[in-house]
Structure 1
Amino acid sequence: MRRVIIDADVLSVQAAVVNQKAIRWGGDEEGERALWTLHAFEEDGEATFTGMVQNLIDKTGADEALLVFSDKVNWRKTVLPTYKHNRSKTVQPLLRSHLTAWAQETFPSISKPTLEGDDVCGILLTRARKFGEEIVVASIDKDFKTVPGHHYNFNTDTFFEVTEEEADYWHLYQTLMGDTTDGYSGCPGIGPVAAKRLLDKSPTWETVVAAFEKAGLCEEEALVQARVARILRSSDYDFRLKKVKLWSPE
């Protein structure tokens, strides 16, 4: 049986955005100021969301889908308090909260305390691989290159396979690069060309530490970046205690 694991936070946003309409009231008379409002109908958002789920099932050839949602509490903030701090002021589309709650009641879905949806996807995918289950993760997040397994990017309509060696490489790359949209800086002075040059020569933790030390930082600061950059795998989660096991270099 083939199953698609869907990064459903994305669907909630996308379905909400396309069904949000701006309406201009008044302003037709000379000198009259208009009033603008945003409107969205729940049933329209639900229909769009349902269509997106079915499209992903069809596209991936899956027999069933599991929707994954982020928890409101994020474990990364305990490692790096500034993680995603720049998103706190972002105005969300009107239907997002409704669609998330509705979808969790309507479709098979999962959310785990303190985990982002990406983490749950990563854990499920890497755990399933150990048992020979056929799973594909559907998302638009470029960071899934750090998770071994079968993936489908529904923004670019592309399938790709990531080996464990490739996933480890991209994790180190992301540690060096950082991600300003997620609020972690990576290694100062390192861009994509430099990161690739360093890791192509020696894709090791020692290479990352050396780059941070050259920038005047220590290994502990590099480790903070590595931990928040890493999408969790099954080896990074304690299933008995239901807690994240912070990544450390072997």
Structure 2
Amino acid sequence: MRRLPIKRVLILDGDPFAWKAAVAHEKQIDWGDGIYTAHTNINDAIKSAIKQIDKIAEKLNAEVVFCWSDPSGYFRNELGDYKGGRKESIRPLCLEDIKEGLAEHYESFMRPKLEGDDIIGILMTEPRYKQGYEKIAVSIDKDIQTIPGLFFNPDKDASPRLITEQDADNFFYAQCIAGDITDGYFGAPNFGMGTAQRLLKEMKKVELYEHTLTRGKRKGETELRRREVSCGDPWEIVLSTYSVNNLSEEVALLNARMARILRASDWDNEKKEVILWTPQKQKEEKAA
């Protein structure tokens, strides 16, 4: 019996494509006497973005779903100084108009207070959406690796790669520890991404202990040192990195909520509201 070809859909973060097209098609005119103006041909910008997106869709033999961020702001802005550390940049002309033009061309999703990556995460993990399709998340943002499923970075990947649920969870917990300064959450001091990923892979938490010096001028004195011990709970591992820095669980939870790219279970579709992440909620979902 001949097998039917697999139907594929690209769930795509449209913001970078719109931005690149807006920048590429913004032109300046020097009128002399120090007077400059800028203009954009919106139709040409939209066509060039469509060409780029369709090229990826053709390569992967897939349909396209366009996800874009709410231009009015994000729920993370209400939690803390989200992306506050980024330098102010001049937005290209007609960016939102270009996004709207792309949204009219493809099946499109925007939700209040969500970023494009959040919508990707929700659609990728909603089993009722696009049943019978192989779904592929398309984004240039490393954070999308916190979402289980097939992932394709058009700037780096030759083909889609699979992110298992365990891999996605570990990447999320590692980001809770390491933070992301450019996004405005700082994580646990002195713990980088490499150390965070190692701790989670080895399932070890850190703790302070009193060490007695056995030699030298300070022989007999004690000092606090860190050591790693086995731990079966990834959230405890996260908390331990904050605890040794004298930071509370509330601080760790805030960082986790900043880092969390939403999944279907983190979104109330009826109320159009975010369900903020908690470690208890994560455990309940694992047990279900």
CA contact (8 A) 2:79 2:258 kept: yes
Give the distance between the partners of 2:184 and 2:8, measured in 1 at CA.
35
Aligned to 1:12: 18
Give the CA deviation at 1:155.
1.2
- Give the one of 243, 250, 253 matched to 1:223: 253
Question: How far is the alpha carbon of 1:55 from its aligned partner?
Answer: 1.2
2:89 is matched by which residue type in structure 1?
T
Greater CA drift, 233-242 or 124-133: 124-133
Q: Could you say what secondary structure the match of 2:93 adopts?
A: coil
Superposition RMSD in Å: 2.1
Give the alignment of 1:99-178 within 5 angstroms: 99-128=98-127, 131=131, 133-158=133-158, 159-178=160-179
Aligned to 1:187, the other structure's residue is in SS state coil
Q: Deviations over 1:40-67 (max 9, x none)?
A: 22222122111022112112210x2111
2:229 maps to: none
TM-superposed deviation, 1:101: 2.1
Secondary structure of 2:126's partner? helix
Q: Structure 2-normalised TM-score?
A: 0.78
| Corresponding residue for residue 83 of structure 1 | 82
Kept in 1: contact 2:170–2:200 (CA 8 A): yes
Q: Is the 8 A contact 2:125 2:263 kept in 1?
A: yes
The residue type paired with residue 45 of structure 1 is: A
Structure 2 distance, partners of 1:197, 1:150, is 23
The residue aligned with 2:69 is: 70
Per-residue deviation, 1:87: 4.7
Alignment of 1:163-202 (within 5 A): 163-202=164-203
| Greater relative CO, 1 or 2 (CA 8 Å, sep 6+) | 1
- For the pair shown, which has the larger CA radius of gyration, 1 or 2? 2
Aligned mates of 2:101, 2:132 — CA distance in 1: 32
Greater fraction helix: 1
Calculate percent identity across the aligned residue pairs: 38
Moved more, 205-214 or 49-58: 49-58
* 1:90 partner amino acid: S
8 Å CA contact 2:147–2:263 kept in 1: the answer is: yes
Q: Which residue does the alignment assign to 1:94? A: 93
CA separation of 1:18/1:182 partners in 2, compared to 1, >3 Å: closer, same or farther? same
Contact 1:66 1:108 in 2 (8 A): yes
Count of residues paired in the alignment: 242
| Separation (CA, whole Å) in 2 of partners of 1:147 and 1:218 | 27
Q: Distance in 2 between matches of 1:25 and 1:211?
A: 58
Report which stretch shifted further, 207-216 or 128-137. Answer: 128-137
Partner of 1:50: 50
Q: List per-residue Cα deviations over 1:82-133 (Å, max 9, x = no partner).
A: 0122458321111312201222233321111121111110010011489553
The reply on whether 1:2 has 2:8 as its aligned counterpart is yes
| Cα displacement (A) at 1:200 | 2.2
The whole-number CA distance in structure 2 between the counterparts of 1:60 and 1:156 is 15
Name the structure where strand makes up a greater proportion of residues.
Answer: 2
Tell me, which stretches of 5 or more residues in structure 1 are unaligned?
A: 27-32
3-state SS of 2:252 partner: helix
Q: Measured at CA, do residues 69 and 88 of structure 1 come closer, stay the same or move farther in structure 2, by a change above 3 Å?
A: farther
